Amino acid sequence: MAELDWSKCPAVESIPGKVSGAWVFRGTRVPVSAIFENLKDSPIEEILENFHVTRDQIQAVLDFAARSAQTPAEALQG
């Protein structure tokens, strides 16, 4: 599976020296990877409370990941 190009997701940013350059939610220090890790075992309401990100921010990242996983034919249909 190809690695996602997070630079094309407007909901996130990577700044050298900020959280070691990890992809974080724009304007926060919350790594995108932390949300994915926690989605395995925690309800979204708990994640929203613990990480202080918005439902819209999480949805934007999930939508980006889902679109990135589509084949070209699926993207044209969707």
CATH number, position 30: 1.10.10.10
The whole-number pLDDT of residue 70 equals 74
The pLDDT of 43-72, averaged and rounded, is: 91
Per-residue pLDDT of 37-46, as tens digits, reads 999 999 999 9
The whole-number pLDDT of residue 74 equals 55
**2 inside domain:** no
Query: Reduced to 3 states, what is the DSSP secondary structure of residue 8?
Result: helix
Integer distance in angstroms from the first to the last C-alpha of the chain? 21
**3 inside domain:** no
Query: What is the residue-wise DSSP string for 17-75?
Result: TSGGG--EETTS--BHHHHHHHHTTS-HHHHHHHH---HHHHHHHHHHHHHHHS-HHHH
Range of the domain at 65: 9-77
**46 inside domain:** yes
Above 70 in pLDDT, residue 71? no
Per-residue pLDDT of 6-18, as tens digits, reads 999 999 999 999 9
What are the structure tokens assigned to 76, written together? Answer: 């044209």
- This prediction has a pTM of 0.81
Q: How far is residue 43's CA from residue 51's CA, in Å, rounded to a whole number?
A: 12
The tally of domains found in the chain comes to: 1
The whole-number pLDDT of residue 75 equals 52
pLDDT over 90 percentage in the chain: 78
User: Residue with structure tokens 């918005």?
Assistant: 54
